[in-house]
Amino acid sequence: SYYAEAPFIFIEYFQLSPSMYGFLGIVVASASIVGAKVSKRLLATYKPEKIIYIGCLVMTGGAILLSVITFVGSNPNVIYMVVFLIAMFILLLGIGVALPNCLSLALVDFQDVIGTAGALFSLGYYVIVTMTIWGMSQLHTGSLLVMPFYFLVIVVIMAVFTRVFIFGKQTSKSI
């Protein structure tokens, strides 16, 4: 959804040129890379299920920060844009922490057909991404508030699902 809404935010609201907006892809890429590195380090201490939950909490923190700074608002200036980017970085960092662990856990039971399973899970992933972007496009009003609150709703749902379905599943196995 970032890709659907970000051009409107950075080009129209913050008045960046399209080429300057293109450089913001570095923020997205670096958040994903840092998230993957953090995830790898956490694997030395925690199970993937716990890392997914940690990623969800980081995403929630980023979405809350993004929502608060957007709700409080400011004139479109460099400081406001930097704070906005920091909040986006935190949110995307959480995705970088959680996503590799989600995908690896999803494939655990399919080792004998890993190529086909990987392709099908990738298809499912892109269907979900597409539906999320479509949802954002349906909500687009030109307001800065829509994307942060949309992200907040999505990450809270993800955290609840993680808590219920992953940790709930572990609790029932231990009984």
Instruction: List the CATH number of the domain containing 66.
Output: 1.20.1250.20
Among residues 30, 101, 90, 33, the alpha carbon closest in space to that of 58 is found at: 90
pLDDT given for residue 90 in this prediction = 96
> How many domains are there within the chain?
1
Q: What is the mean pLDDT of each run of 10 residues along the chain (175 residues)?
A: 81 90 89 95 94 93 93 85 93 93 86 86 87 84 83 89 76 47
Contact between 152 and 63 (Cβ < 8 Å): yes
The predicted pLDDT at position 174 comes to 47
Q: Which domain holds residue 157?
A: 2-174
- What pTM did the predictor assign? 0.83
Hey, how many other C-beta atoms are within 10 angstroms of the C-beta on 1?
Answer: 19
How many residues are listed for the chain in this entry?
175
Predicted pLDDT at 73: 80
Residues in Cβ contact with 21 at an 8 Å cutoff, skipping those fewer than 6 apart = 6, 7, 10, 11
